[in-house]
Structure 1
Amino acid sequence: MLDMLSERFALDALHIKDIRNLIHPPHFTRLENAAMHIILRFPVEKETEDPFSEVTSVSILVDRDMCALVWPGKRFHRFTNADFKGLNVNECASMIIHMLVDYLLSRVYILREEMDEFEEECLADVNRADLGRLLNMRKEMATLARHARTNGIAIEKLMDDPVYKGNLRLIDAHEHMERATAIAESKAEHALNVMQAAQSLLSQRLNEVMTFLAVITVVLTPMGIIAGVFGMNFTHMDVLAYPNGFALSVWGMLLLGAMLAAFFRFKKWW
């Protein structure tokens, strides 16, 4: 197949290598005899539990009489004859590009909805928030933004060609990539803000717990001192013979604890 395309479009070894590269970045090249080669890159869902999407590049070769679409990796869209009925070669190329970028835009929309729902769950109960999963979703959204931005650059270069200048499908495809880039970048930034907010809430709750434990420790400290004094194993301690000594020591401990607690409350430390 590639040998036939190489002969048809006069491809050199470097172009063949680019076509076979599954992760080749988006690129536009003018070939001999008014032919063109455009490479776009898209996410493809893995068939595993890995939350990330793998990436595949797609090559489109066009000349005056032929348009070829090459999938070096996993195919994520099926075209039918009805999709290109009544279209010339250049219109077929622009239709292919338009349908492929629509897939990327729809992936951005789907991931944005998933992230919106998950962010609400995280903020509703930060103690059970899976920030690691949110971080993975943010990384995938940032990857989609990068794909959309580079695809848009390649399409923009194709639109500069006189044959495709003013092509409505390419204009719409380029607008879709700009929209996908804006949405994905905005959502990735928003996810980062949500993660920071969740971490701030967790830190605040941890500080509240530590403050409560510190207050309890300070309140109980005088009681421990009094108990330690009266618990000394000395032979002569006249105060131990006092009839109301035990009651006074207990009330003294309670009074000191209450005074310290009231002082912390007055100072708004607790």
Structure 2
Amino acid sequence: IMGSNYSPIALNIFIQDNVLVTYHHQTLESLNKVVYKYMNTLDAELDCADVVILILDMMVDKYFNFVYALEDSVYHFEDRHVDDRFNKMVMDSVFKLRSDLIKVKRVLFPMQELIDTMKQNGDLIIDNKHSLYIQHIDDHLIKQRNIIRTAQEMTNEIRENFESYTSFRMNSIMQVLTLVSVIFSPLTFIAGIYGMNFVNMPALHLHYGYYICLAVMFVIAVVLIIFFRRKKWF
């Protein structure tokens, strides 16, 4: 894994007799550590199996940096206030985080398959020392996968909470708009009747007809609001 965008890097290893060849497109820090720390010792007891296991061990240990960073990011979102967590910018970050979790997961699974193959095949396991090292790597991979799985579940919960919050907020807005339209429906009806161009209409020529009409409309609106409040519709 390379960089903050969690880009995977392919590492090919070829072993024949006592010769080991690695092929990769970019510099791998884990591989360089093995070269500088172990290859320069000229240890006669160091064989290809030892080198491969050391490379895998250092690579898997380096995965913890990315796994723990993603875990901290997930807990950061969980600790945020609800109002802050449910804005669009934060949710975009959550979706980006879910994408990064998937990228790391796609790296862990092939590595897990490789370790499982090594445990079952036994070509590289010459003695108990190799078996213990491989089991050590396997334990680290299991721990990392569990962390990623938990982080994915937490991001799914954040997404579901966001969808529930958005749905609840939309329903609340629609409820208010519906009540407003219901309140204005009788008022619009009265205004529509007295807006017709008939000459002979009741109370059309009253001196205080306009104010009486406004008062009636106001009373209707207040009565509807009180009715809705008693029904606890808002």
Name the structure 2 match of 1:72.
24
Q: Indicate if the aligned counterparts of 1:62 and 1:93 stay in contact, CA closer than 8 A.
A: no
Deviations 1:138-194 (A, max 9, x none): 122123223212212211322342415553332211111111111112211221221
Structure 1 stretch displaced more, 75-84 or 205-214: 75-84
Name the structure 2 match of 1:114.
73
Paired with 1:186 and 1:236, the residues of 2 have a C-alpha distance of 76
Is residue 131 of structure 1 aligned with residue 91 of structure 2? yes
Paired with 2:105 and 2:202, the residues of 1 have a C-alpha distance of 82
User: Which structure dedicates a bigger proportion of its chain to strand?
Assistant: 1
Identity %: 20
Is residue 94 of structure 1 aligned with residue 58 of structure 2? no
Structure 1 stretch displaced more, 178-187 or 115-124: 115-124
- TM-fit CA distance, 1:109: 1.2
Paired with 2:140 and 2:212, the residues of 1 have a C-alpha distance of 81
Paired with 1:183 and 1:58, the residues of 2 have a C-alpha distance of 24
Amino acid at match of 2:126: V
Q: Indicate if the aligned counterparts of 2:67 and 2:147 stay in contact, CA closer than 8 A.
A: yes
Is residue 236 of structure 1 aligned with residue 196 of structure 2? no
Counterparts of residues 191-230 of structure 1 (less than 5 Å): 191-230=155-194
Name the structure 2 match of 1:146.
106
- TM-fit CA distance, 1:116: 2.7
Q: Indicate if the aligned counterparts of 1:94 and 1:169 stay in contact, CA closer than 8 A.
A: yes
- TM-fit CA distance, 1:123: 3.9
TM-score by length of 1: 0.72
Structure 1 stretch displaced more, 250-259 or 166-175: 166-175
User: Which structure dedicates a bigger proportion of its chain to helix?
Assistant: 2
Aligned CA distance change for structure 1 residues 164 and 265 (closer, same or farther; 3 Å): farther
Q: How many residues align?
A: 222
Paired with 2:23 and 2:78, the residues of 1 have a C-alpha distance of 35
Structure 1, unmatched stretches of 5+, are 1-42, 47-51
Q: Indicate if the aligned counterparts of 1:122 and 1:128 stay in contact, CA closer than 8 A.
A: no
Paired with 1:207 and 1:141, the residues of 2 have a C-alpha distance of 32
Name the structure 1 match of 2:141.
177
Higher relative contact order (CA 8 A, sep 6+): 2
Paired with 1:99 and 1:141, the residues of 2 have a C-alpha distance of 21
Deviations 1:104-147 (A, max 9, x none): 23211112212332454584421334433322321221232232
Q: Indicate if the aligned counterparts of 2:53 and 2:133 stay in contact, CA closer than 8 A.
A: yes
Q: Indicate if the aligned counterparts of 2:8 and 2:107 stay in contact, CA closer than 8 A.
A: no
Name the structure 1 match of 2:126.
163
Q: Indicate if the aligned counterparts of 1:155 and 1:174 stay in contact, CA closer than 8 A.
A: yes
- TM-fit CA distance, 1:228: 1.9
Q: Indicate if the aligned counterparts of 2:105 and 2:148 stay in contact, CA closer than 8 A.
A: yes
Amino acid at match of 2:37: A
